[in-house]
Amino acid sequence: MNDEKLVHKTEIEFQGDRYEVLVYCRTDGRHFARTYFGDDDVIINDGASLEEVLDRHERLLPLAVSSRRILQEYTGVPRRSRSSRL
Structure confidence by residue, pLDDT tens digits, 1-22? 578 999 999 999 998 899 999 9
Residue-level pLDDT at 39:
86
85 domain-assigned: no
Indicate if the pLDDT at residue 84 is higher than 80: no
Full residue range of the structural domain in which residue 15 is found: 4-75
What is the C-alpha separation between 63 and 48, in angstroms, rounded?
Answer: 22
Residue-level pLDDT at 74:
87
Report the b/e string of 2-36 with b at 16+ CB within 10 A.
Answer: eeeeeeeeeebeeeeeebbbbbbbeeeeebbbbbb
What is the C-alpha separation between 29 and 1, in angstroms, rounded?
Answer: 16
| Number of domains the chain contains | 1
47 domain-assigned: yes
26 domain-assigned: yes
48 domain-assigned: yes
- Indicate the pTM of the whole model: 0.80
